[in-house]
Amino acid sequence: MLAMPVSPSPASTSSQEDACKPPPRNCYRLVMLGSARVGKTAIVARFLSNKFEESYTPTIEDFHRKLYRIRGEVHQLDLLDTSGNHPFPAMRRLSFLTGDLFVVVFSMDCRESFEEAIRLREAILETKVSATQSATKSRSRSHYSLKVPMVIVGNKCDKDVKTVTVEEAEQYCVGQDECCIFVEASAKRNYHVDELFYQLFVVAGLPLEMAPNHHRKVPLTFGSPTMLPPSQPRHKATLSIKRRLSDACGVVAPNVRRPSIRTDLMIMRTKTCSLAAGNENNAPGSRITLRTSESRKACTIQ
């Protein structure tokens, strides 16, 4: 007599799903910003699936989510790919306030996009400072020295003609704080895409295994109650040395919907109040770190 396969019980399925839910402290939002046609969506595609599309389709707003299992903990990275035309200023401001770390993209062959990248950085800092002041009812801007994890990306470095030099972009970032760095990249050639995210996670104090080339990519299994598999044995011969050390894996969550504006407003209030409390408890100009026990540089993530 043939044995019938036993489906997992509802309780078992529920416990497996709960095991894949990250704690709030392991949830982050990355916001992609920049002028239209600079390659924001192309960089996102490389990050998520290592693909590149030659055709251009204007982005209104795309929302993605990637889940990781790193050293036994689940991490969630939400990625907001914004429009380069800013049709809704209020929504752009909300993206500044709910974002934890930022990738600001310009094109090496378009000087106007570089100038827009500078304006975007200043707008992000100004918006966060203003919100923090409102939360603490303080008017002294000098009390706050927010250092927001941010990478300024000079995309399309494969172009023959450039109107922005690497030296100029680097000089601008050097004149900022240590949490603002410049990376020259090409989404088309897949040049330095991994590097830009690696450097961003370094300054943000996040697990470096979140960078594209530092974890196993896990395919989705149809009908599985969970997306992330259990940890693999660290001695598994098929893993590279880096991957064996951490056994990190990641999966792109399918069909994820952007949180509602109401939810985003709640997130904004929580982060603003947390940031304000951190500033009240620290001396002016001090850095608020995500992981204070780590020795590497980390910037403001609240």
DSSP state for residue 30 in the 8-state scheme: E
Contact 99, 29 (CB under 8 A): yes
Asked if the structure places residue 265 within a domain, the reply is no
Query: What size, in residues, is the chain?
Result: 302
Return the closest-CA partner of residue 117 out of 143, 155, 90, 145: 155
Quote the mean pLDDT of the chain.
82
pLDDT at site 238 = 55
Q: Which tens digit of pLDDT belongs to each residue from 90-105? A: 889 999 999 999 999 9
Q: Which helix (H) or strand (E) holds 285?
A: none
Lowest-pLDDT range of 138-142, 165-169, 200-204: 138-142
Residue 87 lies in domain: 24-135+144-230+245-253
The two beta strands, 150-155 and 101-107, are parallel
Of the candidates 41, 31, 153, 44, which has an alpha carbon nearest to the alpha carbon of residue 97? 31
pLDDT in tens, 177-235: 999 999 999 999 999 999 999 999 999 999 999 999 999 998 876 445 456 766 655 55
Whether residue 41 lies inside any domain: the answer is: yes
Output the pLDDT for position 143: 44
Instruction: Note the pLDDT of residue 283.
Output: 36
CA–CA separation, 230 vs 198, rounded Å?
24
Domains of the chain: total? 1
The CATH number of the domain holding residue 159 is 3.40.50.300
Is 296 within a domain? no
Condensed to tens digits (0 to 9), the pLDDT of residues 44-82 reads 999 999 999 988 888 889 999 999 999 999 999 999 999
Query: Is there a contact between 43 and 197 (Cβ–Cβ < 8 Å)?
Result: no
**Is residue 262, in this structure, part of any structural domain at all?**
no
Helix, strand or coil for residue 116? helix
Determine which of 105-114, 211-220, 288-297 has the lowest per-residue pLDDT on average: 288-297
* Secondary structure class of 198 (helix, strand, coil): helix
Q: What residue type is assigned to position 302 of the chain?
A: Q
In a domain, 188, yes or no: yes
Residue 280 within a domain: no
Q: Are 272 and 131 in contact (CB under 8 A)?
A: yes
Please, what's the b/e burial string for 4-27 (b: 16 or more CB within 10 A of its CB; e: otherwise)? eeeeeeeeeeeeeeeebebeeebb
For residue 132, the number of C-alpha atoms closer than 13 Å in the C-beta half-sphere is: 25
- Domain assignment of residue 31, yes or no: yes
